[in-house]
């Protein structure tokens, strides 16, 4: 029972981190926006609208998936893994990125929390709750 509480708290932390990451990306310093124009653009820079649409779809699917995981709905497990891998691929094709120290810390903590959720989903007794 204790592991379920830890799992649910990790999901809530992941949700809170996601909100904080969105807020920090909205409040980037003006200098960062000027530097972005000199960075390596990535493959998806030629398809700006496609990139924005895919990013928004993945964002909202991620929110839905966190809800599915919190309620132990079976297909949330596979959807979460798919979204994590899709996010990694999208980040690879997006090109170079600059982070503030605050956003960098949030990104690293978010990666650790996502990794902990994945470990609990596939290698702990929590996996039995998703049947």
Q: What is the pLDDT of residue 52?
A: 81
Give, in degrees to the nearest 5, the angle at Cα 71 between 69 and 75. 50
Q: What is the pLDDT of residue 93?
A: 80
Q: What is the pLDDT of residue 45?
A: 66
Q: What is the pLDDT of residue 112?
A: 97
* Number of domains within the chain: 1
Q: What is the pLDDT of residue 44?
A: 62
Domain extent at residue 100: 2-130
Neighbours of 62 (CB within 10 A): 20
Q: What is the pLDDT of residue 121?
A: 95
* C-alpha span between 32 and 10 (Å, rounded): 31
Per-residue pLDDT of the chain (131 residues), as tens digits, is 799 999 999 999 999 999 999 998 888 887 877 776 776 676 666 667 777 888 899 999 999 999 999 999 999 999 999 999 999 988 888 777 788 888 889 999 999 999 999 999 999 999 999 87
Q: What is the pLDDT of residue 40?
A: 64
Q: What is the pLDDT of residue 35?
A: 77
């Amino acid at each position: 029972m204790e592991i379920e509480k830890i799992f649910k708290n990790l999901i809530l932390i992941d949700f809170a981190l996601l909100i904080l990451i969105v807020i920090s990306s909205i409040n980037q310093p003006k200098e960062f926006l000027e530097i972005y124009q000199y960075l390596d653009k990535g493959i998806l820079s030629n398809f700006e609208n496609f990139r924005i649409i895919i990013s928004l779809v993945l964002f909202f699917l991620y929110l839905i998936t966190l809800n599915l995981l919190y309620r132990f709905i079976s297909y949330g497990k596979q959807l979460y893994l798919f979204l994590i891998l899709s996010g990694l691929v999208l980040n690879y094709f997006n090109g170079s990125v600059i982070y503030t120290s605050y956003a960098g810390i949030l990104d690293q903590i978010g990666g650790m929390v996502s990794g902990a959720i994945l470990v609990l989903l596939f290698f702990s007794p929590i996996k039995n709750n998703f049947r």
